[in-house]
């Protein structure tokens, strides 16, 4: 098994040669996004309340939605088109392989490659407990404190009842200064869901779990919002999440991989870090 990379290693901050000539500004152009994307965020921002998030976590802890292998989960996920993504209309397994293969080309550790493969696997939630796509996909953000302007389409939060609740609409809300993101409720969706599944069922290191949990928390890892809630551990994890984000975002191209050709490699990789082939989702 690979040793855990030290997130303070300069390699974490080095942009891959794969992306040195890429037009990074062409990604996440939400002002140019289609109506489908804008309507998604209007719904998400209205409905992601503290009350909903508490209940979603209770539901997660008290029931098993399915038992399957990681690969079976990837195959099932292939039926979902993410309404929140302005950058790709490829299938979920195509994006998973694009991300994993980009990480593999840069000779990152095997656990890092596995994160590329499974980081969006929590979107399986759509087929189980979801109310739609608004509680599965999209950028994530804290609930229980003030919604910041650095979240995309921030004005749509005015439809959220928590926006006017004095318990939740202050800087810290129900949290405290530098309490640590482990103590913060992020909007419920595929990141949070898969983080808990992987934490329980895998031997992945903390950096990998942070990549899974925070990869959609763009206000934090790209805009440095909510830094006043971070503790020292979060500062180290932020470096890892930013390193992963480049692969997640910039690997979205038209290049497709032969799933069957790569399947055996990734099955062996899954077995390294998920001791039980069949896991609880």
pLDDT tens digits, residue range 29-87?
556 566 788 899 999 999 999 999 999 999 999 988 999 999 999 999 887 766 665 55
CA 153 to chain centre: 19
176-228 pLDDT, tens digit each: 999 999 999 999 999 999 999 999 999 999 999 999 999 999 999 999 999 99
Residue 122 marked as a ligand binder: no
The closest alpha carbon to 237, from 2, 3, 1, 4, belongs to: 4
Residue 139 marked as a ligand binder: yes
Q: What is the pLDDT of residue 3?
A: 37
Residue 170 to residue 233: CA distance in whole angstroms? 24
Query: Which helix or strand (DSSP H or E) is residue 67 part of?
Result: strand 67-68
H-state helical runs in 12-121: 35-47, 50-62, 70-77, 92-105, 110-118
Contacts for 195 with CB less than 8 Å, ≥ 6 apart: 122, 209, 212, 213
Q: What is the pLDDT of residue 26?
A: 47
136-186 pLDDT, tens digit each: 999 999 999 999 999 999 999 999 999 999 999 999 999 999 999 999 999
Residue 184 phi/psi, 5-degree rounding, is -105, 135
Q: Is 268 exposed, middle or buried (0-12, 13-18, 19+ CB in 10 A)?
A: exposed
Which two three-digit tokens encode residue 147? 């919604």
Residue 106 marked as a ligand binder: no
Residue 280 phi/psi, 5-degree rounding, is -85, 125
Residue 135 marked as a ligand binder: no
- Determine the average pLDDT of the residues in 259-270: 97
Residue 82 marked as a ligand binder: yes
Residue 10 has pLDDT above 50, yes or no: no
Q: Which of 8-17, 125-134, 186-195, 251-260 has the highest mean pLDDT?
A: 186-195
Residue 24 to residue 33: CA distance in whole angstroms? 16
Confidence category of residue 248, pLDDT binned at 50, 70, 90 = confident
Residue 7 has pLDDT above 60, yes or no: no
- Determine the average pLDDT of the residues in 91-108: 92
Q: What is the pLDDT of residue 37?
A: 86
Q: Is 253 in a helix, a strand, or coil? A: coil
Residue 120 marked as a ligand binder: yes
pTM across the whole model = 0.87
Residue 173 marked as a ligand binder: no
Q: What is the pLDDT of residue 5?
A: 46
Residue 84 marked as a ligand binder: yes
Q: What is the pLDDT of residue 64?
A: 86
Residue 190 marked as a ligand binder: yes
Residue 216 marked as a ligand binder: yes
Q: What is the pLDDT of residue 80?
A: 79
Q: Is 28 in a helix, a strand, or coil? A: coil
Residue 162 marked as a ligand binder: no
The closest alpha carbon to 77, from 88, 57, 93, 61, belongs to: 93
Residue 215 marked as a ligand binder: yes
């Amino acid at each position: 098994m690979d040793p855990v990379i030290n997130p303070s290693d300069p390699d974490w901050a080095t942009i891959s040669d794969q992306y040195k000539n890429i037009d990074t500004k062409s990604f996440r152009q939400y002002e140019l996004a289609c109506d489908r994307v804008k309507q998604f965020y209007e719904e998400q921002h209205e409905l992601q309340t503290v009350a909903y998030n508490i209940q979603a976590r209770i539901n997660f802890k008290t029931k098993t939605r399915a038992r399957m292998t990681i690969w079976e989960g990837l195959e099932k996920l292939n039926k979902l088109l993410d309404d929140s993504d302005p950058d790709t209309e490829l299938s979920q397994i195509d994006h998973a392989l694009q991300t994993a293969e980009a990480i593999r080309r840069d000779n990152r550790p095997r656990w890092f490659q596995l994160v590329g493969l499974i980081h969006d696997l929590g979107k399986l939630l759509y087929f189980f407990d979801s109310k739609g796509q608004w509680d599965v996909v999209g950028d994530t953000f804290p609930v229980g404190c003030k919604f910041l302007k650095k979240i995309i389409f921030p004005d749509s939060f005015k439809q959220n009842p928590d926006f006017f609740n004095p318990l939740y609409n202050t800087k810290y809300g129900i949290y405290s200064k530098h309490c640590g993101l482990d103590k913060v409720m992020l909007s419920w969706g595929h990141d949070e869901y898969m983080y808990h599944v992987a934490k329980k069922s895998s031997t992945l290191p903390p950096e990998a779990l942070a990549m899974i949990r925070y990869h959609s928390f763009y206000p934090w890892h790209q805009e440095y919002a909510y830094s006043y809630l971070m503790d020292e551990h979060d500062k180290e994890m932020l470096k890892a999440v930013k390193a992963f984000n480049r692969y997640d975002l910039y690997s979205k191209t038209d290049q497709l991989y032969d799933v069957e050709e790569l399947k055996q490699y990734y099955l062996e990789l899954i077995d390294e870090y998920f001791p039980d082939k069949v896991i609880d989702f």
